[in-house]
Amino acid sequence: MHHRTAVRAACLTLAAVSLAACTSRPSEPAKPPEPTPPAEAEPGADGVGDPYYPEDGNGGYDVSGYHVSISYEPKSRKLTGDTQITAKATGDLDRFNLDLNGLKVSAVDVGGKAAKFSRTGEHELVITPASPIAEGTEFTTRVRYGGVPKAAEEGTLGVNGWQIATSGGAFAAGEPHSATSWYPANDTPRDKATFALDARVPDGWSVISNGREKPPTRGSDGWTTYHWAEPNRITTYLTTVGIDKWTFDRSKLSDGTPLVSAYAPGAADKRDVESRLPEILEFLASKFGPYPQSAAGGIYINEDIGFSLETQGRPIYASWADLPVVVHENAHQWYGDSVSVQSWADICLNECFASYAQWLWDEAKEGVILDDQYRRTAEGAPDKLWHGKLFDMGAGNEFTRVYDKGPMALHALRREIGDKAFNRVLKEWPAKHRDGNASWPEFEKFVQGTAGKDLSAFFVAWFHSDTKPDDRFLYPGSLAR
């Protein structure tokens, strides 16, 4: 995700601050605190135990695939949905939950048999199957529902979930919540699954989503169904649907990966920026390894929302998005999408790296001397830049310092361990955890193993603390003054 007010580090102009404000604080203890491992959710629990969003997700099953079918009438804004979820029980289930915001459920089947259901809280759909499900059993759940979708909430960076476009169309976007505003899901990054969408809209409208496009089915009733399928596992907030009068550009990357980009009415001027996507992905692949997604492209909405988002394989861009934002969101295809967070405390694994990708682009394409840029930023930084942790920053603070302090921390790490080890980390980490989840503490261990040195004090200074690092960590290697 790229926040509208996240200042691009390459063009930071920071007010000068007094030397006293920049004075290094006493060093922190050398060893980072041991993280508390997340509790395993009990079968049937209404959350997976992430301390930031304890009611997100559900216990007792692991989803392998979503097949979402919707019909949407832009004039009335009414959605009718029929979603089938394939999952495996991780415990004995006499009941289980799905997450769904609003929308009226009309019927639920489990294993082809009618199941009882009820609603509790803001988003819990409690399902009681006709017969208990034994641990290890694969089962399907079908939910039929409808209504006028609503945004899930006002998040740190703006509205999460279903949003109405100025054209009269609609789109779904938000982090950490968006999927459950239009289909039932196990809404946690820990439960990645394949995703297929059949979306039926009146003729004249069209649909963009994740993954690979299949030919639309044109009915004789004035409606057309569009088909999209993402064969790679995907976390729920990275799924999307866009309903509008899109203009499509279709091509392929050099390796044959399909590239589909869509432009809402009024957004066609973004074609020049998007035309550089093959170049951007080739550059990012040179840093991070082969492109890990099944498809590529972009969704350009003509909306002044507060963020652009790395929806898998096909990011959503606000009307203000520019080339650095396209670099940022596509870096997420490795860091954040292919390798997803284990918990929201780990968000630096997404945003710090996507932000540093912008630095790497400027270094390679614009000739920026990153050490000089780093020193200017460090020497002119206001106190608030240092007053925020990059790991386990606390609920509500996920999308703050990761955009400015985050890339600085990674550049300092690069100078601490040297380019050879750092370049290995950039490629080997996403390869090791491809299509999975990982945590920040795991990353620290990985880096120390790759570099062959104890970096505990460095990680404490930069990632576990909310004070300015001592000079020995602030100016390592070639950064030394």
- Encode pLDDT of 77-121 as tens digits: 999 999 999 999 999 999 999 999 999 999 999 999 999 999 998
Please determine, for residue 23, whether its predicted confidence score (pLDDT) is greater than 60.
no
Rounded mean pLDDT, 269-286: 98
Quick one: pLDDT at residue 17? 29
List, for residues 407-443, the tens digit of each pLDDT value: 999 999 999 999 999 999 999 999 999 999 999 999 9
Superfamily of domain 61-338, CATH level 4: tricorn interacting facor f3 domain (2.60.40.1730)
From CA 200, how far away is CA 202, in angstroms rounded? 7
Q: For 42-46, 65-69, 222-226, which range has the lowest pLDDT when averaged over its residues?
A: 42-46
Give the pLDDT of residue 25: 37
The least confident of 50-54, 153-157, 224-228 is 153-157
**pLDDT > 90 fraction of the chain, expressed in percent and rounded:** 85
pLDDT score recorded for residue 16: 30
Q: Yes or no: say if 211 and 230 are a contact pair by the CB < 8 Å rule.
A: yes
How far apart are alpha carbons 107 and 146 in whole angstroms? 11
Q: Is the pLDDT of residue 222 over 70?
A: yes
pLDDT at position 33 is 57
- CATH 2.60.40.1730 in the chain, residue ranges: 61-338
Residues 142-178: tens digit of each pLDDT: 999 999 998 766 766 778 899 999 999 999 999 999 9
Distance of alpha carbon 384 from alpha carbon 148, whole angstroms: 41
- Which comes out higher in pLDDT, residue 153 or 123? 123
What is the reported pLDDT for 103? 96
Q: What pLDDT was estimated at residue 15?
A: 31
Q: Which CATH superfamily is domain 2-39+340-479 in?
A: Neutral Protease Domain 2 (1.10.390.10)
What's the pLDDT at 147?
Answer: 98
Does the pLDDT value for residue 22 go beyond 70? Answer: no
Placement of tokens 């950039």 in the chain: 426
Q: Which long-range contacts (CB under 8 A, 24 or more apart) does 384-391 make?
A: 386/466, 386/467, 386/468, 386/469, 387/466, 387/467, 388/466, 389/463, 389/464, 389/465, 389/466, 390/348, 390/352, 390/462, 390/463, 391/345, 391/346, 391/348, 391/440, 391/463, 391/464
**Mean pLDDT in residue range 377-390:** 94
289-333 pLDDT, tens digit per residue, is 999 999 999 999 999 999 999 999 999 999 999 999 999 999 999
Q: Where in the chain is the domain with CATH 1.10.390.10?
A: 2-39+340-479
Do 295 and 211 form a contact (C-beta atoms < 8 A)? yes
